[in-house]
Structure 1
Amino acid sequence: MDEAPPVDGDGMALDGTRIDGTRIDAVLFDVFGTVVDWRGSVAREVEMWSQERGLGIDAADFADRWRERYQPSMEPIRHGEREFVPLDVLHRESLEALLAEEQITASADEIERLVLAWHRLDPWPDTIEGIARLKARHIVAPLSNGNIAMMLDVAKRAGIPWDAILGAEVVRAYKPAPEAYLRTAALLALPPERCMLVAAHNYDLEAASQCGFRTAFVVRPRQYGPDQRIDLAPEGDWDVVVDSFPAVAAALGA
């Protein structure tokens, strides 16, 4: 058996290949809020549309209320009550319901434009550097509930250097269902313990950890806006706790 490399006081491998004696081959990322600023990006697009229409919408509030429908929209799929559909479909349905609630009329083209706002999300300032550093020594890919076309568009626009596009649409399961994590590891021909999930959401890391993944919590204190109250601190015994992607890379020796 290979001898494990030296570790620091927190159990993080100094050579970046092992944590607690386990080799890490794939570093996988939650995307919304972790890799990209979904709230600021969607609010920007809503604000532009609102101004063009003269609607006077509170764009940040609209983005928040749209996002509030995100988890509930996936529940019927998680419980087998609905066939899997891509997140673009769920985003469209949530948007149409929100517009109806607000008694706002929108053309099909306007709805399409707003749905595609989720394809134009801005990365956090440290995103590209950190992923590029990790890519030199690890497989890097999204493990997101976003669909393939969305993840591709976000990556191409932002210059995110993924090795592959993985996630819900590929494995036909929405996080935090165990299948989302386990099938992703299987696609990479890796046992779960040789995969690490990087996320700014404690619930996501908890689900991944229960599946055997290693975990890295990255604090994103403004992912929910200036009044954020959740995910400001780790709520589990995560392997790495940092405030940026370059710090994740440093913890893994990259």
Structure 2
Amino acid sequence: MVSPGNTVFAGVKAVFFDFMGTCLDWHSSIVKALPQRIPHASRAELALAWRQAFFDDIHTRFEKGLPSEDIDAAHARLLAHLLGSDPRFSAIELDEQEQAAVVQGWHHMSAWPDVAEGLQRLRSRYEVLVLANGTTRLQLDLAGSSGLGFDLLLSSQLLGNTKPDPKIYLKALDLVRVKPNESVMVAAHAYDSRAAKAVGMRTVYIQRTTEDPQESMDRIRAEVDVFIDGRDATAPDGLGKVASLLGA
């Protein structure tokens, strides 16, 4: 058994990661995928609004007990809605082919600079897995485009539930035969950390510049086992700190 650098992680066998936002810089990737004729500031604002609309949609569907939707279909629907009804983006015109191409942009992303080395260190000591909403195809494409290596990719499509439903965390743990208190959930989303903690998992929150703009960081600090400021993804206190705390 590995002796972690922080006793809160004693007995841990597996480390689960959220993918987009936590490990991947989706914002820069989507800004780049949008047509370059659109001013950079408008592309940046649209990307942020699109991502927030996706999160709002997930939570609305979850609260209403609706089944999850294919992530590409959801992204396409929400983009069309933003372009057609949000006055902030009334000057942006994308034809059907361009919209389809931008939706595929969510399949090709770069990792935050602190992630690859931290993952490599963790994988030398622990099972390291993705547990994220989306399709298996999306996760395969993201792992390939980012160059990140995991022991297993677990999608909401594969597990039949969507985060933050507690059943998705419990099913993932059951599949790999790990108890909740033998696992860590690493995420840059408070709803993810809260749901994981509620089923008994240890929690690490990494603050990223693109995530949780409406959340109180003070509240999150009080909720999770470890809070890491990863806004400067080139600093050593990003994912490398998670590896250090886990003795890797």
Q: Aligned pair 1:177/2:165, yes or no? A: yes
Matched residue type, 2:114: D
Question: What is aligned with 2:45?
Answer: 61
Question: What is aligned with 1:150?
Answer: 138
Matched residue type, 1:71: F
Aligned ranges for residues 153-164 of structure 1 at < 5 Å? 153-164=141-152
Residue 201 of structure 1 and its aligned partner are, at CA, apart by: 2.4
Q: Aligned pair 1:223/2:210, yes or no? A: yes
Residue 17 of structure 1 and its aligned partner are, at CA, apart by: 9.3
Secondary structure, counterpart of 1:125 in structure 2: coil
Question: What is aligned with 1:250?
Answer: 244
Higher Rg of the two aligned structures: 1
- Which of 197, 201, 224 pairs up with 1:238? 224
Aligned ranges for residues 43-192 of structure 1 at < 5 Å? 43-46=31-34, 49-51=35-37, 58-75=42-59, 77-79=61-63, 81-101=65-85, 102=89, 105-192=93-180
- Which of 14, 32, 38 pairs up with 1:26? 14
Secondary structure, counterpart of 2:152 in structure 1: coil
Structure 1: stretches of 5+ with no match in the other structure? 6-13
Secondary structure, counterpart of 1:85 in structure 2: coil
Matched residue type, 1:245: L
- Which of 169, 181, 191 pairs up with 1:203? 191
Considering only aligned residues, what root-mean-square deviation do their CA atoms show, in Å? 2.6
Percent identity of paired positions between Structure 1 and Structure 2: 29
The CA deviation string for residues 115-150 of structure 1, in whole angstroms up to 9 with x for no partner, is 111111211101111111111111111111132111
Corresponding residue pairs, total: 235
* TM-score, normalised by the number of residues in structure 1: 0.82
Matched residue type, 1:241: F
* TM-score, normalised by the number of residues in structure 2: 0.83
Matched residue type, 2:126: H
Residue 105 of structure 1 and its aligned partner are, at CA, apart by: 4.8
Residue 239 of structure 1 and its aligned partner are, at CA, apart by: 2.5
Give the direction of change, closer, same or farther, for the CA distance of 1:40–1:55 in structure 2 (3 Å limit). closer
Question: What is aligned with 2:233?
Answer: none
Between the aligned partners of 1:170 and 1:236, the Cα distance in structure 2 is: 32
Residue 80 of structure 1 and its aligned partner are, at CA, apart by: 5.6
Secondary structure, counterpart of 2:244 in structure 1: helix
The CA deviation string for residues 36-56 of structure 1, in whole angstroms up to 9 with x for no partner, is 11222212222xx141xx688
Contact 1:168–1:175 (CA<8 Å) still a contact in 2?
Answer: yes
Structure 2: stretches of 5+ with no match in the other structure? 229-236
Contact 2:189–2:211 (CA<8 Å) still a contact in 1?
Answer: no
Question: What is aligned with 1:8?
Answer: none
Residue 16 of structure 1 and its aligned partner are, at CA, apart by: 2.5
Between the aligned partners of 1:83 and 1:219, the Cα distance in structure 2 is: 29
Between the aligned partners of 1:231 and 1:33, the Cα distance in structure 2 is: 17
Between the aligned partners of 1:21 and 1:50, the Cα distance in structure 2 is: 46
| Higher helix residue share | 2
Question: What is aligned with 1:11?
Answer: none
Between the aligned partners of 2:59 and 2:143, the Cα distance in structure 1 is: 27
Secondary structure, counterpart of 2:134 in structure 1: coil
